[in-house]
Amino acid sequence: MQQNADPLENLADQFARFPGVGRKSAMRMAYQVMAMPNDQAMELAKAIECAKTQLRRCRICQDYTGGEVCKICASQKRDRSVICVVEKPRDVKSIERTHEFNGLYHVLHGLISPIDGVTADQLCVKELLARLNDTVKEVIMATSPTVEGEATAMYLAKLIKPLGIKTTRLAYGLPVGSSLEFADETTLYRALQGRGEL
Amino acid sequence: MQQNADPLENLADQFARFPGVGRKSAMRMAYQVMAMPNDQAMELAKAIECAKTQLRRCRICQDYTGGEVCKICASQKRDRSVICVVEKPRDVKSIERTHEFNGLYHVLHGLISPIDGVTADQLCVKELLARLNDTVKEVIMATSPTVEGEATAMYLAKLIKPLGIKTTRLAYGLPVGSSLEFADETTLYRALQGRGEL
């Protein structure tokens, strides 16, 4: 098996490196590559190379960009007094899709996680602190409502509040369209705590 | 968005070509590539290229191989009187894992499917017929128990039987470890029909 299966097994090994892709799915993907027309597979290989070589982190917000500074940071239409702190570049896209936020972003590229050995200095924290000039009036913590997300938000708030900048957090509550029946107690508790007037 | 998101969107487009990978998963994978160390991403790109350039179809059974003929077809230990016909290369691996089959394989690279416009001459049928010499005593149809798998097995049986070669089919029945409760009627009917003595 070694000899003939090698490039295929190797390809599966590479796919298995994606978080959430198990060995079986990785093998399936490897076979799917083999079943693709040659030019399609080469386009995929090329797209990986291009994304990695052409994209870098925005000098200001650390999101991915093709240039020196990303489009949002460069835009004159964005409100420079609010910075929304997120865990990863994907979160920027998610928030942009709401069309509700017109400020700037800051991507941490991770969350503080003692269990995984991730400390604050492995995240883009100093880049955030360097941005906090007089223009900035509010920093919104938009990290996930998980233990790591909480810990990171608390840690940053402790650093930012003393600078006299308002530090806020995304609201907790029931997901829209969900049923009360399926909400866990903690969410329900938070939804109650955060109840608003009608 | 166009300018800075382009290589990332393009990469997601490429991933979205995998069957079963939706737009959202594809985008997640693209971000995962961006989060990979550079050398890891390049290894993935290279593995795709290598698999596509180094592997080809075995001249005999049409499975993927690094050489002219695959290891199974080249082996002197395999029983050359039985050929097991499968839809795709992955199925060869599945059957090999049972350690119960010592014959040869033949990979069709697809199934007859009028709905998808796949006819018999798009499959490796003539390569199979070309192999049916006097040594071959049995051809096992190991296609899936689906409409397409059935149709393909029937079609091939019609071509092979007149040559005086035994044509068999994988057994239908209850999956081992499953509960009768969850078996659909057709499977149960087939399991009854194929019942064996204890």
In this complex, is the C-beta atom of A22 within 8 Å of any C-beta atom belonging to chain B?
A: no
List the pLDDT tens digit at each of the 198 positions of chain B.
333 358 999 999 999 999 989 999 999 999 999 999 999 999 999 999 999 999 999 999 999 999 999 999 999 999 999 999 999 999 998 888 888 889 999 999 999 998 999 999 999 999 999 999 999 999 999 888 888 988 999 999 999 999 999 999 888 887 877 777 777 878 877 777 777 666
In this complex, is the C-beta atom of B147 within 8 Å of any C-beta atom belonging to chain A?
A: no
Mutation for testing the B interface, residue in A11, A53, A116 having most B CBs under 10 Å: A11
Of the pLDDT bands very low, low, confident and very high (cuts 50, 70, 90), residue A3 is very low
Q: How far apart are CA B94 and CA B157, in angstroms?
A: 23
pLDDT reported for residue A4 = 35
In this complex, is the C-beta atom of A46 within 8 Å of any C-beta atom belonging to chain B?
A: yes
Structure tokens at B135: 């040594």
**Which residue of A31, A38, A88 is in closest CB contact with B88?**
A31
Q: How far apart are CA B175 and CA B150, in angstroms?
A: 18
A26-40: pLDDT as tens digits:
999 999 999 999 999
Cross-chain Cβ contact A29/B50 below 8 Å: no
Strand partners, B161: none
Closest approach of B143 to chain A, Cα-based (Å) = 17
Average pLDDT over residues A125-138: 95
Share of chain A above pLDDT 90, in %: 68
Size of interface A-B (CB pairs under 8 A): 144
Of the pLDDT bands very low, low, confident and very high (cuts 50, 70, 90), residue A51 is very high
Q: How far apart are CA A89 and CA A82, in angstroms?
A: 18
Sequence-ordered list of residues with C-beta below 8 angstroms from that of B131, at least 6 positions apart, any chain: B60, B83, B106
Q: How far apart are CA A65 and CA A37, in angstroms?
A: 31
The mean predicted confidence, pLDDT, of chain A is 89
Cross-chain Cβ contact A19/B32 below 8 Å: yes
Q: How far apart are CA A135 and CA A79, in angstroms?
A: 10
User: What string of DSSP letters covers B88-117?
Assistant: SHHHHHHHHTTT---SEEEE-SS--BTTTT
In this complex, is the C-beta atom of B64 within 8 Å of any C-beta atom belonging to chain A?
A: yes
